């Protein structure tokens, strides 16, 4: 059967970063390719009337502390030691995400994605700043000039708008989100369910 697994991501979400750290092992165990689909989380929030959990639960007693504890449990479970707080959070991710649209299908797509997730959540850089993006891309040996030019390309801009609208049309309301064909799984807490769904569909 045709099985298509997608990860709808925005570099601005720490939970998308954490999912990105775990997806390779799921791909390896199941043998499926996981397609990364760049979406603009701010656009999804606007069109679905949703907000980040951080914003939503800022005034709820105990809940932010519980969410921090769940993050720690996730880090320990998956042996992730590199996560840092990004002091610039929330970061405007539109330039990074446009670059990610341009990266789709390029042979350096995976390097682009990994370099930017690391810049945001292992190095805590201000990735809203095009100069900072440029220097991260240079360090990673990526085609800087080509990528920075593409960020202003109307087709690339429209591509990000379309990805975002399509994601919402298929039922999404945030990130990290995963699709197994048209079945949505939302949140880093659903990665086990995602893997089980893939396995059951392969079986």
Question: What positions carry a catalytic annotation?
Answer: 13
Element holding 38 (H helix, E strand) = strand 34-38
Q: How far is the CB of 24 from a second copy (least distance, A)?
A: 22
Q: How far is the CB of 186 from a second copy (least distance, A)?
A: 6
Q: Where are the beta strands (DSSP E) in 100-195?
A: 177-180, 183-186
Q: How far is the C-alpha of 137 from the C-alpha of 52, rounded, in Å? A: 28
Measured from the CB atom, is 113 or 191 closer to a second copy? 191
Measured from the CB atom, is 89 or 173 closer to a second copy? 173
Q: How far is the C-alpha of 185 from the C-alpha of 117, rounded, in Å? A: 21
Q: Which positions lie near a second copy, rule CB under 8 A?
A: 47-50, 56-57, 59-63, 65-66, 69, 73, 168, 171-173, 184, 186, 189-190, 192-193
Measured from the CB atom, is 97 or 191 closer to a second copy? 191
Q: How far is the CB of 193 from a second copy (least distance, A)?
A: 7
Number of Cβ within a 10 Å radius of residue 189: 14
- Angstrom CA distances, 160 to 12, 78, 91, 103, 181, stand at 15, 31, 17, 12, 20
Measured from the CB atom, is 78 or 190 closer to a second copy? 190
Going by C-beta distance under 8 Å and a sequence separation of 6 or more, which residues neighbour residue 127?
A: 11, 88, 91, 93, 95, 96, 116, 119, 120, 133, 136
Going by C-beta distance under 8 Å and a sequence separation of 6 or more, which residues neighbour residue 49?
A: none
Measured from the CB atom, is 57 or 89 closer to a second copy? 57
Going by C-beta distance under 8 Å and a sequence separation of 6 or more, which residues neighbour residue 95?
A: 127, 128, 130, 133, 151
């Amino acid at each position: 059967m045709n099985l298509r697994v997608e990860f709808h991501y925005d570099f601005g979400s720490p939970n998308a970063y954490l999912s990105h750290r775990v997806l390779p092992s799921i791909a390896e165990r199941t043998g499926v390719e996981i397609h990364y689909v760049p979406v603009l989380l701010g656009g999804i929030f606007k069109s679905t009337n949703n907000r980040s959990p951080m914003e939503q639960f800022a005034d709820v007693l105990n809940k932010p502390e519980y969410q921090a504890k769940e993050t720690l449990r996730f880090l320990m479970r998956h042996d992730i030691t590199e996560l840092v707080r990004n002091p610039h959070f929330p970061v405007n991710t539109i330039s990074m995400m446009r670059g990610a649209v341009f990266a789709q299908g390029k042979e350096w797509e995976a390097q682009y994605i990994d370099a930017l997730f690391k810049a945001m959540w292992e190095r805590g850089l201000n990735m809203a700043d095009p100069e900072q993006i440029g220097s991260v891309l240079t360090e990673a040996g990526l085609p800087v000039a080509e990528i920075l030019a593409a960020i202003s390309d109307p087709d690339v801009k429209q591509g990000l708008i379309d990805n975002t609208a399509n994601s919402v049309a298929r039922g999404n309301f945030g990130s990290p989100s995963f699709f197994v064909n048209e079945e949505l799984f939302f949140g880093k807490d659903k990665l086990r369910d995602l893997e089980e769904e893939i396995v059951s569909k392969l079986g």
